[in-house]
Chains A and B, each alone.
Chain A
Amino acid sequence: MPKFTRRDFLKTSCCTAAGVAATSFSRFGLMNAYAQGTDYKALVCIFLFGGNDANNMIIPYDKAGYMNYQSLRANLALPQNQLLPIQPKSQSTPFAFHPNFPQMQTLFNNGQLAAVVNTGNIAQPTTRAQYLAGQVPIPVNLFSHADQQNQMQTDTLNYTFAPTVGWGGLVADQIQAVYGSGNFPILVSLGGINVFAEGLVAKPLQTSGDPTLSLSGFSGSPADNARLNAFQSLLTFEDGLTLVQAANTTTSTAIQNAQNLATALASGTRLKTVFPKSPLGTQLQEVAQIIQVRAALGLPRQIFFVSSGGFDTHGAQIPTQGRLLLDLNESMNAFYQATIELQIPQQVTAFTMSDFARTFQPDSTDGSDHAWGSHQLIMGGAVSGGDFYGTFPTLALGVQDDATNQGRWIPTTSLDQYGATLAQWFGVPTANLPSVFPHLNNFPAGLLGFLPGGAKARI
């Protein structure tokens, strides 16, 4: 009996014989430069669903800073002797990572990992006084999961209807305008359907499991062939309800993409890098395998979306987040090692996003609640690592950076700056960045400089 567990498509597809000529997916003359391997870049978004408590991911390590942290975080405070110290280049005092971040600590120390601190969705520089007085635009339905997930993925503050375009998709639109589009989507989400990957033009492959899954039950017999022909015919009828047509499009596109991807993956080999068996580890492994066959897919730029869930730690936060951060640490590190194995560490940049951070003040059930500005990680060979970008929040309740009285940090670096820094490295022309990141010009500090090409540039 078939059992629908998550099949390892990499294992099965790598060993079939059929190779594929790179030219079968190529477009115009772009493949010539690309085939030399000189012009490939990938962005990998790692979304931490539920709202990662970044306050326990990066912690002040100097005596005064830690004691303040310990006092306010109370039962959520991590013991100082378990923390993993780091010294960001631009900071005068030491900080530390969560105890389950040993490999992130190594990558940070080696310069392949950076953090953007207290970043989030704001339209312009925003003070507590302005926020409380309602003098500046703020994200609608602030502190709501669904809204802030969408806002982080779309870089919008406001919408009255379900969003259909995300900033990953808009970046892909810009890239396709330069590089053209191929026979395979430039965007691949292995974390299911998310608006991040939807462009106005670029349409993603979005999957929650094996993206090469094919129709089962067709043996090649005359009866099966007749049935397959009929199945395919039914998918083409366009005289029905709008939603029937939409489902037909989804199915027929999925079957075509699955065939193309399976063919391309057959030209690859199984990477030696060992990934965690977790959902996040598995997704990142799939990303690495797809990057390996980038030539067969004919794509000089790719954007990926993967995800991890369960960060909504209203209760039992210490053990729950501990498990999740350990998995994040191991999965991200494995992915970086895989880019070394693929000999393109400088061409692949992975970065995190999350709904929001969590209240600095704990709640009565050993957890924390929904907040706002958060810390994000950027990893890759091109990253100017070992440093923080942005301004670390003042960890104090009811004053300065706190939007409320429970430690909800008002972001001091905007999502626009974060995303635009990634996008410019990726190849979006500087002049076009504001069309993707609409508030970028409101921030005099401009790009953040954690990737080359965007060093402190003013727009």
Chain B
Amino acid sequence: MTRKCMHQRASSLRIPALLLMTLLLSCSGVIAAQVNNNMVAGRFLEQTSWGPTPATLTAVEQTSLQNYLQQQFAAPISTYATPGPTDGLNFVQNQFFVNAMTGQDQLRQRVSFALSEIIVISAIGPNIKSKYPAAFTLWMNMLQNDAFGNFFNLLNDVTLSPSMGSYLNMANNNGCLSHCRPNENYAREILQLFSIGLNQLNLNGTPALDQNGNLIPTYNQATIDGFGEVFTGWAYPAVPGKTAHFFDLPSYTGPMLPFQMHYSQSSKVLLNGTTLAPKGNIQTDLTAALQNIFTHPNVAPFISQQLIEKLVTSNPSTDYVTRVAQVFNNDGTGVAGNLQAVITAIILDPEARRGDDPTQLQLSDGHLREPLLQMMAALRAVNATTDGVNLSNYAAAMLQPPFLSPSVFNYYPPNFQVQGTSLLGPEFAILNANTTVTRVNFINDLIYGKVGPNTTTNISSYVSAASNVPNLIALLNTNLMHGEMPSDMSSTLSTTLSSSAFAGNPTATAQAALYLTLSSSQFQMEH
């Protein structure tokens, strides 16, 4: 794909003359542009946090990206507090927004949120009732703890989580002898959605094909039956002070417990021709089955590609996926599944970083900010403080209420193709006639009204700059557009904000500038 030269800087922006000249030259394809720290830090923070702030921009500009990643790996975890007896799901939802707003572990939150969209539980449906908010705090704390660990441990913790046990019916799945058979729900989705997917993949994420050009299924119904038998015999942990029984009511205090008596005694067909012998030990068999999944060659490209989509771009090249999948399979010390290494590989990959130099950006780059990411980026851009109350209502109107995915297939599928293009754009699956306007109206409420009873904003730095429109636009560009606001956009803003309608009113000028920038598709598309 050839690339048009589209990101020439407007001369009114605060860009050194030499750099501007370099950019102009580079648009003829002759000379690579210099890159300033703001461009790098802004893009990096869009990929690794819930949105840049002046403070985090400064912090990244003062160190290397590698060092900043290391700091983020070590940052204290924004743990979800355990709900009280009268708390509902909104207790957890509000914590989500507060953590995203103020937590120092921004990368951990982004990664655990991405994982929560690959490995989904939800309060929609009958299986986890919203009167059990502890199911979700336990779940999020588990994901956050495991986000920089090993993928096998994550798979093990997910499998034994009572939250997942409720959601996909592994809890109380009984290896009964007659007149019934194990529930297939968890067996099917751990394979289809959480680990390997439906079809054999090449290392670069593309489907492998047989000699007739057909997809090659990774499993069949016999495999589902086999894993369904493996996932029998587990039940909720005991209520403190009591002895656990197989059919106890849901309890979200720790991992599920094994009940050998309720474990299927049949043989179990797994992946790649492996079969577990009859009458095995429940714990030994489970570990063997999870290893059987973890060692399938699909795991690396399947998980790597989706993490790239969530963090960097909807349309990674096959080379990009290959590079990350290789790290997934071997972190350099012979270990597979090292998520810290995988995240590092995703973020520091040349393809993730090429847009730091705007002349190297490709037309297919970037991804639409999903609603929660768009909301948080806007909130953080206007220095908001919040207790989270009411924000879930906005997220719901944009089809992304926290912890309420419509199904285990997440709010949107990973392979959604954008109409009128040949590109994938997963987040576009929930950008419809209503939500696209709702997203704009959220910005209206944020800038001109109120988005929650206890959510405040502070745009004083923009108001201070508003007496000089070029300065105001430069500040927007630095803080919100990582220094890459397109020239036609900046000139439109300049003309509008310089008009008599805004004369002598710096607050109105700053508000209009923020509204137009935050609601623009150029901002909503992270690139």
Q: Which of B173, B182, B441, B500 contacts A216 (CB 8 A)?
A: B441
Q: Which of A161, A211, A244 contacts B522 (CB 8 A)?
A: A244
Flag if B169 contacts A365 (CB, 8 Å). yes
Chain A residue numbers with a CB within 8 Å of B433 are 205-207, 211, 213, 250, 253-254, 257-258
Q: Which of A241, A254, A314 contacts B363 (CB 8 A)?
A: A241
For residue A311, give the distance in angstroms from its CB to the closest CB of chain B.
10
Flag if B424 contacts A237 (CB, 8 Å). no
Q: Is B114 an interface residue (CB 8 A)?
A: no
| Interface SS of chain A | loop
Interfacial residues of chain B within 298-335, with CB under 8 A of chain A in the complex: 314
Q: Is A17 an interface residue (CB 8 A)?
A: no
Q: Is A226 an interface residue (CB 8 A)?
A: yes
A237–B522 Cα distance when bound, in Å, is 10
Q: Produce 1/0 per residue, B399-434, CB < 8 A to A.
A: 100000011010001011111110111001111111
Q: Is A444 an interface residue (CB 8 A)?
A: no
Chain A residue numbers with a CB within 8 Å of B428 are 193, 243, 246-247, 250
A145–B425 Cα distance when bound, in Å, is 20
A348–B413 Cα distance when bound, in Å, is 32
Q: Which of B168, B221, B434, B444 contacts A404 (CB 8 A)?
A: B221
Flag if A310 contacts B180 (CB, 8 Å). no
For residue A280, give the distance in angstroms from its CB to the closest CB of chain B.
14
Chain B residue numbers with a CB within 8 Å of A258 are 433, 437
Could you say which of B453, B488, B502 has the most chain A C-beta atoms within 10 Å of its C-beta? B488
Q: Is B373 an interface residue (CB 8 A)?
A: no
Q: Is A63 an interface residue (CB 8 A)?
A: no
Q: Which of B6, B415, B488 contacts A162 (CB 8 A)?
A: B415
Q: Kindly specify which of A1-9, A91-99, A105-113, A377-385 makes contact with the partner chain.
A: A1-9
A207–B438 Cα distance when bound, in Å, is 11
Q: Which of A214, A241, A310, A365 contacts B365 (CB 8 A)?
A: A241
Flag if B453 contacts A1 (CB, 8 Å). yes
A226–B494 Cα distance when bound, in Å, is 12
Q: Kindly specify which of B9-17, B69-77, B136-144, B513-521 makes contact with the partner chain.
A: B513-521
Flag if B502 contacts A243 (CB, 8 Å). no
For residue B355, give the distance in angstroms from its CB to the closest CB of chain A.
10
Q: Produce 1/0 per residue, B34-78, CB < 8 A to A.
A: 000000000000000000000000000000000000000000000
Residue of chain A at shortest CB distance from B525: A244
A255–B173 Cα distance when bound, in Å, is 49
Flag if B184 contacts A314 (CB, 8 Å). yes
Flag if B440 contacts A251 (CB, 8 Å). yes
Q: Is B198 an interface residue (CB 8 A)?
A: yes
Interfacial residues of chain A within 70-112, with CB under 8 A of chain B in the complex: 74-75
Chain A residue numbers with a CB within 8 Å of B217 are 140-141
CB-CB under 8 A for A1 and B183, given A217-B441, A243-B367: no
Residue of chain B at shortest CB distance from A320: B126
Q: Is A235 an interface residue (CB 8 A)?
A: yes
Q: Which of A74, A161, A237, A247 contacts B368 (CB 8 A)?
A: A247
Flag if A209 contacts B436 (CB, 8 Å). no
Q: Produce 1/0 per residue, B134-167, CB < 8 A to A.
A: 0000000000000000000000000000000000
Chain A residue numbers with a CB within 8 Å of B512 are 223, 226-227, 230
A198–B448 Cα distance when bound, in Å, is 37
A362–B363 Cα distance when bound, in Å, is 51
Chain B residue numbers with a CB within 8 Å of A237 are 486, 488-489
Residue of chain B at shortest CB distance from A252: B436
Q: Is B90 an interface residue (CB 8 A)?
A: no
A158–B423 Cα distance when bound, in Å, is 20
A211–B365 Cα distance when bound, in Å, is 30
Chain B residue numbers with a CB within 8 Å of A254 are 432-434, 436-437
Q: Is B124 an interface residue (CB 8 A)?
A: yes
Q: Is A183 an interface residue (CB 8 A)?
A: no
Residue of chain A at shortest CB distance from B394: A4
Interface size on B, residues (CB 8 A): 103
Chain A residue numbers with a CB within 8 Å of B516 are 227, 230-231, 234
Q: Is B297 an interface residue (CB 8 A)?
A: no
CB-CB under 8 A for A243 and B173, given A206-B433, A213-B438, A230-B496: no
Q: Is B125 an interface residue (CB 8 A)?
A: yes
Flag if A223 contacts B221 (CB, 8 Å). no
Flag if A314 contacts B393 (CB, 8 Å). no
CB-CB under 8 A for A316 and B127, given A161-B415, A162-B413, A227-B496: yes
Q: Which of B365, B492, B521 contacts A247 (CB 8 A)?
A: B521
Flag if A217 contacts B489 (CB, 8 Å). no
Flag if A146 contacts B429 (CB, 8 Å). no
Flag if B429 contacts A193 (CB, 8 Å). yes
Flag if A315 contacts B183 (CB, 8 Å). yes
A2–B314 Cα distance when bound, in Å, is 33
Flag if A364 contacts B180 (CB, 8 Å). yes
Q: Is B508 an interface residue (CB 8 A)?
A: yes
A288–B437 Cα distance when bound, in Å, is 24
A241–B7 Cα distance when bound, in Å, is 10
Residue of chain B at shortest CB distance from A255: B437
A146–B421 Cα distance when bound, in Å, is 22
A48–B521 Cα distance when bound, in Å, is 33
Q: Produce 1/0 per residue, B215-232, CB < 8 A to A.
A: 101000100100000001
CB-CB under 8 A for A74 and B179, given A50-B407, A211-B434, A364-B173: yes
For residue B291, give the distance in angstroms from its CB to the closest CB of chain A.
24
Chain A residue numbers with a CB within 8 Å of B192 are 144
Q: Is A36 an interface residue (CB 8 A)?
A: no
Residue of chain B at shortest CB distance from A408: B221
Q: Is B199 an interface residue (CB 8 A)?
A: yes
Q: Which of B124, B176, B449, B525 contacts A241 (CB 8 A)?
A: B525
Chain B residue numbers with a CB within 8 Å of A248 are 521
Chain B residue numbers with a CB within 8 Å of A164 are 417, 419
A173–B156 Cα distance when bound, in Å, is 49
CB-CB under 8 A for A1 and B450, given A213-B434, A215-B444, A316-B127: yes
Flag if A226 contacts B126 (CB, 8 Å). no
Q: Is B254 an interface residue (CB 8 A)?
A: no
Interfacial residues of chain A within 154-185, with CB under 8 A of chain B in the complex: 158, 160-164
Chain B residue numbers with a CB within 8 Å of A406 are 181
CB-CB under 8 A for A363 and B486, given A233-B492, A254-B433: no
Residue of chain A at shortest CB distance from B224: A143
CB-CB under 8 A for A208 and B430, given A231-B516, A365-B172: yes
A211–B438 Cα distance when bound, in Å, is 11
Flag if A364 contacts B198 (CB, 8 Å). no
A369–B224 Cα distance when bound, in Å, is 11
Chain B residue numbers with a CB within 8 Å of A246 are 418-421, 423, 425, 428
Offer 18 A-B interface pairs, CB within 8 angstroms, sorted by A: A3-B393, A75-B180, A140-B215, A141-B199, A164-B417, A198-B419, A221-B501, A222-B500, A235-B521, A241-B364, A247-B524, A253-B433, A254-B433, A310-B126, A314-B169, A363-B184, A364-B176, A365-B173
Q: Which residues does B use to contact A, with CB under 8 Å? A: 4, 6, 124-127, 168-169, 172-176, 179-185, 188, 192, 198-199, 207, 214-215, 217, 221, 224, 232, 314, 361, 363-368, 390, 393-394, 396-397, 399, 406-407, 409, 413, 415-421, 423-425, 428-438, 440-441, 444-445, 448-453, 486, 488-489, 492-493, 495-496, 499-502, 505, 508, 512, 515-516, 519-522, 524-525, 527
Given A231-B440, A254-B434, A363-B181, 13 more pairs with CB closer than 8 A: A2-B449, A4-B394, A145-B407, A198-B419, A208-B430, A223-B508, A226-B502, A231-B519, A235-B521, A240-B522, A243-B368, A251-B440, A314-B169
Please name the 5 residue pairs, one residue from A and one from B, whose CB atoms are nearest each other, closest first.
Answer: A4-B397, A217-B444, A254-B433, A247-B521, A314-B185
